[in-house]
């Protein structure tokens, strides 16, 4: 029986990398009923919200979505479609694996970490105001319930996937109340998982240690802002945003997405690396219980890279479609 999955083709290079991902998932033998929903630039140009209510309702109804990058228009008052989806659907856990890949040049061999970023609180609550004409204020929101659910998600993932340790990343030495609450809540949750090692690390120390002692880390759990920064650092360590997958999980639904931008200057050039969306697709397949197909696709991607079939961002010359065809050939 086919899986129902909502599909946002995105803007810019979104449709191209979406087509490549669809083709490869189909070649892996997974039957998916793609339900296309509207969001992004086309909605704004039509005078609609960047994520219409009908799209949000359909994703809630289906429970799973694959999303290509979208463009946020500049100077038109539009909010980020990513932030809109996360807030309206309460997608509280942003999960971003970072793993070195064969054939992808990086000095960080053996990198294999998973980042759990709290997705709804912190400075991204967007509570800002001008205290005086020359002083701007932003409110950092950290709650016990919000922290508990992201910490619990990280420990449950670690236990299920036999990961050895979860580290809490914070700045509680300075922000003793807000980050202090994040740390204390993490420690309380950690006490319920004695089979998983846990410790904490200050965020600036983590950034230094990630690029010197990356093998010491396994699963990281962070507040929103630190998670945003560290996950992009980790993406750079694995070879760039073009190879970095991502997912956003809530209680009732999940959205799997490429974390890079829509790159409109490359639109229609058949040039951009589809791996970020494709590997996000393998995360989606595991969410749907298609573990074997996900593993087969990942192995096919690795075999393709080892053969030197790479897009420009990985110092290759393959086009988007050529890379997709090569992965499909490995799956045959």
Spot the catalytic one: 171, 179, 226, 271.
171
CA distances from 241 to 99, 176, 249 (A): 12, 33, 20
Neighbouring C-beta atoms of residue 274, cutoff 10 Å: 27
Task: Indicate if 140 belongs to the active site.
Answer: no
Task: Indicate if 124 belongs to the active site.
Answer: yes
Task: Indicate if 122 belongs to the active site.
Answer: no
Please state, in angstroms and rounded to a whole number, the distance separating the CA atoms of residues 260 and 311. 15
Please state, in angstroms and rounded to a whole number, the distance separating the CA atoms of residues 56 and 134. 39
Task: Indicate if 307 belongs to the active site.
Answer: no
The three-state DSSP-derived secondary structure of 122-176 is EHHHCCEEEEECCEEEECCECCHHHHHHHHHHHHHHHHHCCCCEEEEEECCCCCC
What is the chain's alpha carbon radius of gyration, rounded to the nearest angstrom?
A: 20
Spot the catalytic one: 228, 249, 271, 310.
228
The values of phi and psi at residue 329, to 5°, are: -65, -35
Please state, in angstroms and rounded to a whole number, the distance separating the CA atoms of residues 69 and 18. 10
Structure tokens at 74: 């500049």
Spot the catalytic one: 92, 124, 157, 249.
124
Residues in the chain: 332
Virtual torsion, Cα 128, 133, 134, 135, nearest 10 deg: -30
The three-state DSSP-derived secondary structure of 74-137 is CCCCCCCHHHHHHHHCCCCEEEEEEECCCCCCCCCCCCEEEEEEECCCEHHHCCEEEEECCEEE
Spot the catalytic one: 176, 204, 299, 307.
204
Please state, in angstroms and rounded to a whole number, the distance separating the CA atoms of residues 31 and 10. 22
Neighbouring C-beta atoms of residue 192, cutoff 10 Å: 10
The catalytic residue positions are 124, 171, 204, 228
């Amino acid at each position: 029986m086919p899986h129902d999955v909502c599909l946002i083709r995105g803007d810019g290079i979104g449709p191209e990398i979406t087509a490549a991902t669809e083709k490869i998932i189909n070649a892996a033998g997974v039957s998916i009923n793609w339900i296309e929903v509207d969001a992004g630039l086309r909605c704004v140009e039509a005078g609609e919200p960047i994520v219409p209510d009908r799209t949000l309702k359909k994703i809630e109804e289906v429970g799973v979505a694959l999303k290509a990058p979208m463009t946020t228009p500049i100077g038109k008052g539009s909010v980020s479609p990513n932030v809109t989806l996360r807030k309206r659907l309460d997608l509280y856990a942003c999960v971003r694996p970072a793993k070195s890949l064969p054939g992808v040049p990086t000095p960080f061999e053996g990198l294999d970490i998973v980042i759990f970023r709290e997705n709804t609180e912190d400075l991204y609550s967007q509570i800002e105001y001008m205290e005086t004409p020359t002083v701007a204020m932003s409110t950092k929101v950290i709650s016990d319930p919000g922290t508990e659910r992201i910490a619990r998600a990280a420990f449950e993932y670690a236990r299920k996937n036999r990961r050895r340790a979860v580290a809490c990343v914070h700045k509680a030495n300075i922000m003793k109340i807000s980050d202090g609450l994040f740390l204390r809540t993490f420690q309380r949750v950690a006490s319920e998982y004695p089979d998983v090692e846990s410790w904490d690390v200050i965020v600036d120390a983590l950034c230094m240690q990630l690029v010197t002692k990356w093998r010491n880390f396994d699963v990281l759990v962070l507040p929103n802002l630190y998670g945003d920064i560290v996950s992009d650092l980790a993406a750079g360590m694995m070879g760039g945003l073009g190879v970095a997958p991502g997912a956003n999980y809530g209680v009732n639904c999940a959205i799997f997405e490429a974390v890079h931008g829509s790159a409109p200057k490359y639109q229609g050039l058949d040039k951009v690396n589809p791996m970020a969306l494709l590997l996000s697709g393998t995360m989606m397949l595991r969410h749907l219980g298609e573990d074997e197909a996900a593993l087969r696709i990942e192995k096919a991607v690795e075999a393709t890279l080892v053969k030197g079939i790479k897009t420009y961002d990985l110092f290759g010359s393959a086009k988007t479609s050529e890379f997709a065809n090569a992965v499909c050939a490995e799956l045959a």
